[in-house]
Amino acid sequence: MNLSYKFIILLALFSSRCLSEKTYKFPKEKFGNPLAKLLSSILIDFYSENSIEVDITRSAEDQKNQFIQSGILNEVLCDVNAKIPVRLEDYKLTRERYPRIFNIFIVDSYQSFRRILYTNKTDAFDYRGFYTVVLTSLHQNYTELVRRILQDCWDFYIINVNVITYDPSDSEKAFMYTYFPYTPDHCGKVKPIIYEIFSKEFFRKKNEIFPDKVGNFYGCNLTIGTFDFPPYMMIHHLENGTLFSGFEGVVTRVLGKRLHFSLTLKTCNDRWGRVEGENSTGLSGMILRGEINFTLGAFSFSFSHYGMMDSSIPYHATPLTLLVPPGKPYTPMQKLLLPLRYIIWSCLGACFVISAIVVSFAKILAPHRRTFIFGPGNHYPFINTINVFLGGSLSVVPRRNFARYILILWIFMSLVIRSSYQGTLFSVMRDQKNVSVVDTFEKMWKENFKIYGVEGTKKYFESMETYKKMFIAGTPAEVDEYRMRTASSNFRGAAVTPAVVAAYMNEKYAKDGASFRISKEDVIMLYICIYMRKYSYLKEPFDREISKYLESGLLHRWTSTFYSSKYLKERPQHMRPKSLTFYELSGIFMVLSF
């Protein structure tokens, strides 16, 4: 028989057997893997209740372990039964679309775990999220492997993490390991514990799958970075420790008592510093390098910090403004002219000029007409005009009605102007007012003022094309000195200052007679918060506590204890009566000298 016919016959026989329902049976997968059952319980009990999607990322050392992981995944997906959408990814395909919060890693070794975590280290995962690591291979030193995995998580500030692995003595059991970084026995350490057990298809869930691990620090030390900056933070070094005062100092103390942690203080002369990646300075640089746990001291939410570090919710708002000098005092001659506006002085001058012209013109008139205007016996009409204006008396009064009418009008006008002038001059001499204050950006630009501030405030002026050249960055100590110099009218500049600090300075130095004025225009609104390392585990407990202080009104109470907004208003000068000095009256002597 031809070979081709034999092949066709064999193919037909093979097809008939394959299509026969009686002889063909679909293979049934044998489910019951304890890792799969435990992971399914976690998916149903936690992930499906708290998220709309979960990311499962897997990594294996060889093809055999990939098949094992695929079997576990099949069983998990069958048990979950579409209760939550699941996105399956290989570690190489993890794209950085957004930080993943709800994660499951399926790995077979420590190396495969690191491959997922470190390959996608940048922004693929939100380290404050929730992580379940499934270890699909049983290793002889599996407890050490679990410890190393959890230690890497702690290095990334991942505390909401569980590791699932087999029980080496019983293939029907699975353990769920986790760690508590802060306990009565240790601080900031990784000591894995068996948190839950799966045995014989039963999950012995006695605790929350992801418990709160930082609600109590059990007296452990946290490192705070701050500095003395009243009224926000005031540091008092005592024999038995450090006392934090100021309203942010009160917040720090209350947080420590509520969360049961103690504090180790670190400070920096650069204070806030600047954020420039690895070249960051001040406390901002210390946060980025992990030298401190958190920092506060008039730190405001800023886009320069966004993405580099985390912040608490803002708990206080204040304008960033400018301290400006009070303006130079009026000279004695200016004080004489100050009570009346220039238009009134101009009208008065015009009246005297017209009087002089009329008197000069009347001299060429006939005597009876001159008598009709000035009255008889009035040989010095212009001198009498000045005499009446200054409140003097006339030795010869006019007898004719027209002359009397003119005299009455002049007396009435002189009385009003003279009384107004004397009353206003009294107020000027009493209040010791100064020349108009340079309190807007436009005035500062016209007066060639300089604006002094720390390096961190420079970014607020870079968008101001007209005024950014006026800004001069200085050290915190230099800016503190410029703030004090703004109390002097001789200082030609302004200092960048939060309005709260300006109010505090006015209250503090009121007894010394110093007054600090703020500009009419604000630079920006500052939202004060606490900064910490990116993805810090402190954010959630701090936010929870600060929300309580805000809702209860405690924060408002604490801030009002250390400053009052009434000191932002220019204080009226209630000085004791004093004798006038020669300098204050020298203006009138200058007039007499002419």
Quickly state the pLDDT bin for 377 (edges 50, 70, 90). Answer: low
Three-state secondary structure readout of 387-449: HHHCCCCCCCCCCCHHHHHHHHHHHHHHHHHHHHHHHHHHHHHHHCCECCCCCCHHHHHHCCC
Query: How confident is the model at residue 483, as a pLDDT?
Result: 94
Residue 190 has pLDDT above 80, yes or no: yes
* Residue 16 domain-assigned (yes or no): no
Coil/strand/helix, residue 31: coil
Nearest in space to 40 (alpha carbons), one of 86, 8, 9? 86
Q: Are residues 311 and 338 in the same domain?
A: no
Quickly state the pLDDT bin for 79 (edges 50, 70, 90). Answer: confident
Residue 233 has pLDDT above 90, yes or no: yes
Residue 336 has pLDDT above 60, yes or no: yes
Q: Are residues 59 and 179 in the same domain?
A: yes
* Residue 486 domain-assigned (yes or no): no
Q: Are residues 148 and 226 in the same domain?
A: no
Query: How confident is the model at residue 27, as a pLDDT?
Result: 38
For the chain, give the percent of residues with pLDDT over 70: 85
Q: Are residues 72 and 191 in the same domain?
A: yes
Quickly state the pLDDT bin for 381 (edges 50, 70, 90). Answer: confident
Q: How far is CA 158 from the centre of its chain?
A: 26
* Residue 578 domain-assigned (yes or no): no
Q: What average pLDDT score do residues 94-103 get? A: 77
Q: Are residues 345 and 418 in the same domain?
A: yes
Given 182, 203, 224, which residue is the final one in a domain?
203
Look at the chain and report how many structural domains it folds into: 3
Q: Are residues 148 and 188 in the same domain?
A: yes
Exposed, middle or buried, 89 (CB in 10 Å: 0-12/13-18/19+)?
middle
* Residue 282 domain-assigned (yes or no): yes
Residue 5 has pLDDT above 60, yes or no: no
Q: Are residues 283 and 342 in the same domain?
A: no
Residue 19 has pLDDT above 50, yes or no: no
pLDDT in tens, 484-505: 999 888 899 999 999 999 999 9
* Residue 545 domain-assigned (yes or no): yes
Q: Are residues 141 and 287 in the same domain?
A: no
Given 175, 203, 231, which residue is the final one in a domain?
203
Q: What CATH number does the domain containing 178 carry?
A: 3.40.50.2300
Q: Are residues 193 and 238 in the same domain?
A: no
Q: What is the dihedral of CA 468, 474, 475, 479, to 10 degrees?
A: -90
* Pick from 36-40, 140-144, 264-268: least confident: 140-144
Mean pLDDT: which of 388-392, 404-408, 510-514, 547-551 is highest? 547-551
* Residue 192 domain-assigned (yes or no): yes
Residue range of the domain that includes 342: 332-430
Q: What CATH number does the domain containing 250 carry?
A: 3.40.190.10
Q: Are residues 191 and 222 in the same domain?
A: no
Quickly state the pLDDT bin for 579 (edges 50, 70, 90). Answer: low
* Pick from 56-60, 281-285, 412-416: least confident: 412-416
Q: How far is CA 144 from the centre of its chain?
A: 43
Compute the mean pLDDT over every residue in the chain, rounded to the nearest whole number: 83
Query: How confident is the model at residue 265, as a pLDDT?
Result: 94
Secondary structure letter of residue 517 according to DSSP: E
Query: How confident is the model at residue 472, as a pLDDT?
Result: 92
- Pairing label, strands 524-528, 316-324: antiparallel
Q: How far apart are the first and last CA of the chain?
A: 147
Given a contact cutoff of 8 angstroms between Cβ atoms, the answer to whether 549 and 251 are in contact is yes
Q: d(Cα 175, Cα 152) in Å, to the nearest integer?
A: 20
Query: How confident is the model at residue 385, as a pLDDT?
Result: 79
Coil/strand/helix, residue 367: helix
Q: Are residues 251 and 228 in the same domain?
A: yes
* Residue 158 domain-assigned (yes or no): yes
Given 404, 430, 456, which residue is the final one in a domain?
430
Q: d(Cα 119, Cα 122) in Å, to the nearest integer?
A: 8
* Residue 498 domain-assigned (yes or no): no
Query: How confident is the model at residue 285, as a pLDDT?
Result: 92
Q: Are residues 190 and 52 in the same domain?
A: yes
- Token couple for 532: 């910490």
Given a contact cutoff of 8 angstroms between Cβ atoms, the answer to whether 165 and 135 are in contact is yes
Given a contact cutoff of 8 angstroms between Cβ atoms, the answer to whether 222 and 264 are in contact is yes
